[in-house]
Structures are given as structure tokens and as C-alpha cells.
Amino acid sequence: MSTEWSFYGRREEAGQLLEHMRKGRWFFGSIRGRRRIGKTALINQVLTTIRSDDPGLRLALLFQLPDSSVSDTASVFRRAARRWNPEQEIVGLDDVRDLEGVATVIGSLCNRGAIVVIDEFQYCYQGPLKGFPSLLQAEVDRLNRSNAKGGLIVIGSIQTEMEALLEDRKAPLFGRTTFGIRLGPWDLRTIFEVSRKHGAADPQRRLTLWTLFGGVPRYWELFAREDGLDAIDRWDDWATELCNRLFLLGNAPLIQEGETLLAGELRRNYLALLHTLARHGPCSHAQLLEWLPDLSSLGAYLEVLVKDLRLVEKSFPVFAEGKPRNARYAVSDPFLRAWLAVLKETRQDMRVVPGSRLVRGLLSRLQTLEGHAFEVLVRQACEEESRLETGEFSMTQQIYGYWNRPRGGQAPIEIDLVAQDERNRKVRFGSCKRTARNHDRESLERFRQHVTNFLSTRKGSRFRDWTHELALFAPSFPTDWRSRLESDGWICRDLPDFETMLGTPDERGNLGRFIVSPKVKGEIQ
């Protein structure tokens, strides 16, 4: 392991938590995010920061609800409370045998200024713990009326159930939270920092890790704790060993992660939908109805996957008129996409397929997936550098959607990136390749023709008198290949370029090398 694992990113969320904890007033907050996203790590980091001012401070009691019985929950709570403060007797703790006793002691601790953190709160949605929110409501209301200085934080990973517990108007705790934090994946600036410090500075390997992990902190941590991977020279050998150690062999830490995530977050119909999307790629509503004829209320399931769980992306045709109805759906979560498209099939094949053929199949599927993942990474990087004002292109909007054939019998069009700068009337068209040398003469001519075709359409005509930029993206550009392309007027951007432009929170990097030369900005002929 190259560097000891630390706490990365989350500065905005940590600052928000610190602000509430340091006010000295009662609060009731929630932290939500998918499994492994770093909810508990965020809490612990904030508490560590606060304790640094007072090393003897015992500020917060954190306990995890078991997916079990009432008596087991009471027992877990008693043990957690005793570990938290073994020197001081907690009034009423020995008598806690039910959920009411747990809620009463929590209220008492909060009233005395403590912060209580309840993890896996989604277990209260149904089953033996279903009555717990009503008991907490009574304590929360009592604390709201008092001059309490403590706080209560509930943490959960199943989004639909957490929303039902806190945001449904009929829920006991509805309207009582003073703040809510939703943890999403790391941004690319954090991912670049982590990969640089933990043996994956090579751009091609960064793309592989992004394809497998996205921005989920726990997966990156497990990778960082694997010794010796950075000593493997060839990408093929490294990628095979990485997948074996983390996902495929019997003692791999993530061997059951895909099924656990799916089974924990989703029910049977959601699983059927995700597997269908992973197997067939982007699908229309009509295609899903055809492939899943027994699935009723398909639209409702899709809405949860898109809006609530954010595991599926919904895209509309670029050349749609009015309100389009022919949307396409695809798995958007990087880990689930990798698990369903690459890793799960490899796990199944391990029983019968010879080793050499198994590796070829794994690497082939992984490389194909990396090509799609790289396009997503580029779009995200362009958005982040524009938001941080660290890049040379100030993007105000991207054209999203899938490329349907425009009306009027025009040729088909497909462009990986169309970024607009409304203020300066510039538009950047981008082509993404997993390997820089795939930006060859034939590919460049085809890309240029697609841009010309786009500008001839009704939607593209508004950009005809704008400044046009043609940009090529790859994980890395060999020096000779970049020089050749840039001498012909192309803009070349790779992951090292993005890392420099995004910089770190304290060092944004030198942007001088990214100033676009005048000849690159010329109109497309």
C-alpha cells in the first residue's frame, strides 16, 4: 500500500455537519446515500474534528439498528451505550428492554447535550421496528419544546424507505428534521487525488477503476489496501489481478457486493428491470414491456429507479420536437453496470470456462464498458472544471440525449460531447476514444462529418455562426500523437489534463498550457 488511507473529499458536507453541531442548539438531521458511500465515515470524521478541540469530550453515541427483533435492538443499544461511556452511569439504561426504553434514553441523552446517531434507520420502515419512529417522534417533539443542546442524526442507505420514514406526510417524523444531507459519489477532483496517492496515477488504470467503482469511497479504500498491484506492469495482468482479488476469488471482499446491493436496495421487479437493462443496453419503454410482459406498473418502477435510487438514466432523443415520449433507459450506476455487464458473467463462467478464455472474455467486456464509461467521465470532467472555473472552456450547457435520426432524410449523427458557452457564443464538439491512437485519419474524418451534419439540422443551425471547437479525448495522449493532432488544429484533452485543470482544493494548477490557440478556434469548413 503506497499511502495510509485517509478521509477524502466531503468538505461541503462535513462543513454543514460541523455548523449544526457547533451551534449548541437542538437539531434532528438525516444522512442518506447508497451503500458504501461513506455516511458513517463522514460522521466519524466530523466528530474527530470536534474532539480535537477537547480530547476528553464524549460527544456522540453511534449505534446500528439490527435487522432483528425488538429485544435484540434493546440489547444492541445497551451495549453501544456502555461502550460509548463506560465510566458514567446512564440513567435508565439497565431497564431498557423494548423500543420505548430505547427512545426514552435517547431523548434523555440528547437533552443533556449528547448527539445520538442511529445507523440503518431504514429497518424501521417495516417489521418488528416499525413502531420506533412514533416513539422517537414523542422525544423529538419534547426536545423541540425544550432548551436542549444535543442532536439526533438518522442514517440510511435504502432511499425509498428513508423517504417514506421522513418525507411521507403520514409518517410520524414528517416535517421534523432540521437538515438533511444526501451523499453522492466523489467528484473527479477527489478521485484524482485518491488514485494518485494509492498507486493508480496511470491514466488507463484510473479509467478502469472509475469504470468499476465510480465515486464510491469504500470500493476505492478496498483497492488501496491491496498490496502489490502497483508493481504489475502490463494493464492486462493488472486488470485481471484486480478483478480476481476484489470481485472473483473466494476471499474477495466484494464477491457478494453486487447481489447484496441489489437484494438490499431492491425488490424482485426492480431486479428484473435492472438485469434486462444491463443485458440489452439502452431500452425504450415499449421494448421493456415486450421483454417483461408480466411486469405491471412499469412506469412507476422506472420512476423510482431514475428519480429516487438514481441507478438508471433516462435520456430523450436529441432531435425530439415538443415533449418527447420515446425515452431510453440504461443502468447509470458505475458499479452496478460493471457488475451486471462484466463481473457477474465472469463469476458464472469460472465454473466451466478454461482460464485463458475466461480472462480474454473478462478483459474484452471490461474494455468495451470502459469505452462507454470514458464518455461519461469526460462529460462530468467538463462540467466540474466549468463549475470550478478552472478550465479554458466556460460551459453553460450540454446537449444530452441519444442521437436519433433527424427529420428530413438527413444522415445519422452521433457526437460524444456537445458543450455550449452561451456567453461567448462558442460550441465544443468532442470525440472520446479509449485509446488515443484510435483518433486516426478515418475516425477524424467521420467525426468532422458528423459535426457538419449536425450543423445542417434545425437544432444545430443555431450554432452555425458561433465559434466551433473540435476536441479529442482519450485517457492519455502519447507526445508524438498529441503533437501531430494539435499541429492539424485539433484540441487534445486527456486525464492528466483534467487533473491539472481541476487541481486540488488548495492548488488549482497552472492553466496556461490549456489556452486554445487562435487557429483551433476557427470555423469548421
pLDDT, one tens digit per residue, over 368-409 is 999 999 999 999 999 999 998 888 899 999 998 899 888 766
Residue pLDDT, tens place only, 411-457? 889 999 999 999 999 999 999 999 999 999 999 999 999 999 999 99
> Which of 63-67, 157-161, 203-207, 365-369 is predicted with the least confidence, judged by mean pLDDT?
157-161
Query: Among the residues of 146-256, which ranges form H helices?
Result: 159-166, 188-197, 203-213, 217-224, 235-243
CATH classification for the domain delimited by 389-521, as one of 3.40.1350, 3.30.70, 1.10.490, 3.10.50: 3.40.1350
Confidence of residue 514 (pLDDT cuts 50, 70, 90): very low
- Which residue, chain included where needed, has cell 485539433? 490
- Going from N- to C-terminal start, the domains of the chain cover 11-182, 186-387, 389-521
Q: Is 116 exposed, middle or buried (0-12, 13-18, 19+ CB in 10 A)?
A: buried
Task: Please choose, from the candidates 404, 417, 273, the residue with its C-alpha nearest in 3D space to the C-alpha of residue 331.
Answer: 273
Confidence of residue 30 (pLDDT cuts 50, 70, 90): very high
Does residue 318 surpass a pLDDT of 60? yes
Strand order in the sheet with 179-182: 60-64, 115-119, 151-156, 27-32, 179-182
> Which of 69-83, 207-221, 395-409 is predicted with the least confidence, judged by mean pLDDT?
395-409
Grid cell locating 216:
464510491
Task: Please choose, from the candidates 325, 278, 269, 255, the residue with its C-alpha nearest in 3D space to the C-alpha of residue 301.
Answer: 269
Confidence of residue 481 (pLDDT cuts 50, 70, 90): very high
Residue pLDDT, tens place only, 226-283? 999 999 999 999 999 999 999 999 899 999 888 887 766 566 778 888 888 887 888 9
Q: Which residues, 6+ apart, have CB-to-CB distance to 301 below 8 Å?
A: 269, 270, 273, 295
**What's the whole-number mean pLDDT along residues 154-165?**
88
Half-sphere exposure of 196 (CA within 13 A, CB side): 13
In this structure, are residues 91 and 108 in contact, taking their beta carbons and an 8 Å threshold? yes
pLDDT of residue 428: 97
For residue 381, give the 3-state DSSP assignment. Answer: helix
- Can you say how many angstroms the Cα of residue 121 is from the centroid of all Cα atoms in its chain? 21
Q: Which residues, 6+ apart, have CB-to-CB distance to 71 below 8 Å?
A: 97, 98
- Cα 177 to Cα 26, 101, 140, 157, 377, distances in angstroms: 11, 22, 9, 17, 35
Q: Helix-strand-coil percent breakdown of the chain, rounded to 5?
A: 50, 10, 35
pLDDT of residue 504: 66
pLDDT of residue 219: 96
Half-sphere exposure of 360 (CA within 13 A, CB side): 5
pLDDT of residue 470: 97
> Which of 108-112, 413-417, 441-445, 503-507 is predicted with the least confidence, judged by mean pLDDT?
503-507
Q: Which superfamily is assigned to 11-182 in CATH?
A: P-loop containing nucleotide triphosphate hydrolases (3.40.50.300)
